[in-house]
Amino acid sequence: MKEIGVYIHIPFCRQKCYYCDFCSLVSNEDIYKQYINCLLSEIENYKIKLINLPHEWHEEKLIVKTIYIGGGTPSIINDEYIVDIIRKIKEKFTVDENAEITIEVNPGTITEKKLHSYYDAGINRISIGLQTTNDKLLKVIGRIHNFNEFENAYKLAKSVGFSNINVDLMIGLPTQTIVDVEQSLNQIINKNPKHISVYSLILEENTILEKKIRSGELVLPNENDERAMYWKVKNILEKNGYSQYEISNFSLKGYESKHNTDCWNQKEYLGFGLAAHSYYNNIRFSNLCNLDDYLGNIKKEDFCSNIQIHEVQKSEDKMNEYVILKLRTMQGVNFQIFKKIFKIDFMKKYKSKVEKLVKQGLIEISDYGVRLSIKGIDFANVVWCEFV
């Protein structure tokens, strides 16, 4: 018996936000329908993919502990498709009765009917993309909705019965000020969501935003201002009872996302759909991000040509990756747990690296383990690179 997570990718959006380079595109109902049929077929035939991975195949009973329907914008498609996907997962796997089942939604695409269908299908966590409560700024970054539409979506989700709601916010956006950030946070905290994710903008190549910045049409806050926004966020959220459990994630007690926590604990998961990533039997692999190829291969019942293998981990790779993943979390690496998993003493294995990072003030060490220091949170990339 093996516990796993399941990730489902819905790669469609009403309009591409200017900053976003996720694998998603603007499409139409005919393509949605074809895509869902292929996705269902991929789940139906998941064993064919696993058998063909470069490892010894053993049939094992898989228990699904979390399902995450992400995108793209899962709420853009007909809600019956989401119900079909959950039905298919339940048909092919044993889904734990307490499984966390999340769907990402965009406020510009949500209706009461869709929310009812999600609830009835067993979805118990909603993640709403908002980014900021400032309508002008929402326009600057190419979002399809305003704050009022978010408020309606949030209210609807609560009235339908969803109590576990996450809101995504962003900092470091063009024209954004620290006052904007403070205002966004206060307006969201007032609604009392169980979870808030706050992402620092990553300026991705070939996005509309990158072109606007390069041409001088828009300007980003400087690094000091962006860091000041980050610390402001952390401060306000912690004062209001949200504890930070990862660089970008905050929650009320007991509402940490199980799906994300499992990923940072290096637990296994299977991804279905365009560009969906998987981690199984020490192999990291994903589907390619080309919709025509994806659909074409599945229609030919060729379930393997979509797969791209990224890494077949040896124990050394696995250990290094574990350390990097745990150093994203505020808890860090626990010596006892590390020893239990890898049968080796963490400090013996990483003594020189740890000493170097402690000297630089980037990590702190205790009797229990190591974790990022306050300074290390601002230079987390430097810390992670040490273990690559």
Ligand X SMILES: C[S@@+](CC[C@H](N)C(=O)[O-])C[C@H]1O[C@@H](n2cnc3c(N)ncnc32)[C@H](O)[C@@H]1O
Residue 71 as a binder of ligand X (CB under 6 A): the answer is yes
Instruction: Identify the H or E element spanning 196.
Output: strand 195-200
Measured from the CB atom, the residue of 20 and 62 that comes closer to ligand SF4 is 20
Residues 6+ apart with CB under 8 A from 28: none
Residue 72 or 193: which CB sits closer to ligand X?
72
What is the biggest distance separating any 2 CA atoms in the chain, rounded to whole angstroms? Answer: 58
- Quick one: 13 or 298, whose CB is closer to ligand X? 13
Cβ density class 134-156: b for 16+ within 10 Å, e for less? beebbebbbbbbbbebbeebbeb
Q: Which region, judged by CB under 6 A, interacts with ligand X, from 68-76, 82-90, 92-100, 211-219? A: 68-76
Residues that bind ligand SF4 (CB under 6 A): 13, 16-17, 20, 22, 24, 71-73, 106, 129
Identify which range of 18-26, 282-290, 339-347, 354-362 contacts ligand X by CB under 6 A.
Answer: 18-26
Please, which residue, 115 or 323, has the CB nearer to ligand X? 115
Please identify which residue in 79, 104, 226, 321 interacts with ligand X, judged by CB under 6 A: 104
Examine residue 166 and tell whether it contacts ligand X (CB under 6 A): no
Rounded distance, CA 167 to CA 17, Å? 17
Is 201 among the residues that bind ligand X (CB under 6 A)? yes
27 binds, among ligand SF4, ligand X, none (CB under 5 to 8 A by kind): none
Structure tokens at 339: 């020893």
168 is in the binding site of which of ligand X, ligand SF4, none (Cβ under 5 to 8 A by kind)? Answer: ligand X
Please, what is the minimum distance in Å from the beta carbon of residue 71 to ligand X?
5
86 vs 36, 43, 89, 170, 351, CA distance in Å? Answer: 12, 10, 5, 30, 46
Report what 70 binds from ligand X, ligand SF4, none; CB cut-off 5-8 Å by kind: ligand X
CB burial class (10 A; 0-12, 13-18, 19+) of residue 366?
A: exposed
Sole window of 65-73, 154-162, 282-290, 301-309 interacting with ligand X (rule: CB under 6 A): 65-73
Q: Is 157 in the site for ligand X (CB under 6 A)?
A: no
Enumerate helices (H) and strands (E) in the chain, giving the number of each. 16, 15
Query: Residue 16 is encoded by which pair of tokens?
Result: 């591409």
